[in-house]
Each structure stands twice: as C-alpha cells, then as structure tokens.
Structure 1
Amino acid sequence: MAEEKGLHVVQFSKANGYFPTVLASPSKCRTEEDIETNEILDFKQYCLDGRVILERKKYPPFYTKHKSWDIYLKKQENIRNQDKVRMNLRVEYGEIRSFLTDKYPECRPARFIKKNKESEEEEE
C-alpha cells in the first residue's frame, strides 16, 4: 500500500499513547502538493474500495420511556454524589460534618462502630 500510494503507512495505538508508529515507507514519497483533495487516505476505506462500514445507531434502553424511570431519576437526584461528598468530608476533616458544626458542636453525627461476633463473646 505504501508503494502504491507513495505515502508512509502509520499506526496510532493506545499502547503507545497514540504516538505514530511507521509501519511501511515507500521508496519515493509524494509531497502535499501531489496528493489530491478527494484521494482516500484512510486505511479501512482504502481496503474496502472507498466504502464505509455502517455502524448501527444505538437506541436508548426500553425502560427510559416509562414513567417509572422518570420517578427513579427524581429520587436519585437527592442522593446523587452523596457517597463522594461523605468520603471527601472524612478525608478533609476526619469526620462527617456540616457548615453548622463550628457554631453548634452538638450537631456532629454519631459514630457507628460495627461489633464483631468475637468481641461480643469476649464481653460476656
């Protein structure tokens, strides 16, 4: 293909960070002025004689049209990102706290500690 077109064949891969890798080089390269504007340069199109692979349209899932889906989305709006906020509060302050914690120290949430079966048996 490189000899036929007179151009370098280059591959971009995710493994190389999309850095171009030269696969084949022609003996004599053409310049930009020699390349026509309507010439096919894409490898897949070249292999398929100018045709393009038809990619089917992805339809949305069937349940997105139901009324229950809208209700679900409205309920999820309240708790969206709640787990991320709780984690960030624990990282930043070491506990879950609100903007009222400094003014009213009693508004700290209670800490729940899970007890193991072994620790319960030792207490008895």
Structure 2
Amino acid sequence: MRQTRRIAETPPPEECDPRVEALVNDLIGRVADKWTMIVLEVLAQRGELRFTQLFRLVRGVSQKMLTQTLRHMERDGMVTRTVHPVVPPRVEYRLTDLGASLGAAFCGVWIWAEDNLTRVEDARARFDDRQT
C-alpha cells in the first residue's frame, strides 16, 4: 500500500520522476484556478449538465472562461463532453472517475478551511491591525 508523505516531514525523493513533478505542478496550478474547483464542485453535486446549465450555476464566470476551463478539464481527463446530434446541438458535460477522484482529493482543503476559519480570520485581523 502506498503511504502518504507529509510535506514538512519528508523531503522529496532525490530521483523524482520529472513527468510526475510536472503533472503535480500543472494540476496544482489548474486546480488552484477557482473556476476549475467550482466546476468540479457543481458537476459533483449535479451530475451531467448542459453548458448553459453550468454557465448559470458557475456564477461570475464568462462564457469564454467556462469554455477554456472545460477544455482544459476535458484534455486532462477530468470531464467528458458529449455532443448530441440534434438541432440546435446539445452539449453535456460530466465528471469522469478521474475528475471525481481529484475533487475528493482536494476536499481536504475545504475541511481544513472549515476547521481553521476562525484562526485564519483572527490571524488576518491581528496582521491588519499591526499594519495600521
């Protein structure tokens, strides 16, 4: 069984596969993008959705940004895009198992935020008070 490595406890292996390192860096950048996280969450909660439904549910996103986000997610294997041959064309998106597992992996960030919200807010307030 593979063991989870804690960042502060164990240095990275000296012979780290550069492809794995590149993928981790790429995914962190992509998932740190708020639109990817929101799309992951919406699709996890709602299942398969048409583009227009996603656009309504992902508040604040432009059509262009949603399209770009979905293309990146599709390329990475996180969502599947199904085009139905009707007039007008109907396009639907759903999470793949890979996308669902990524969402589950980052769920820990939400749990951490819930557990530490007050501590972070207090620290920010103390910092801001010192700056004024």
TM class by shorter-chain length?
under 0.3
- Give the TM-score, by structure 2 length: 0.20
Q: Which has the higher contact order (CA 8 A, sep 6+)?
A: 2
Q: If each structure's helix is expressed as a fraction of its own residues, which one has the higher value?
A: 2
- Give the TM-score, by structure 1 length: 0.21
- Bigger Rg, which one: 1
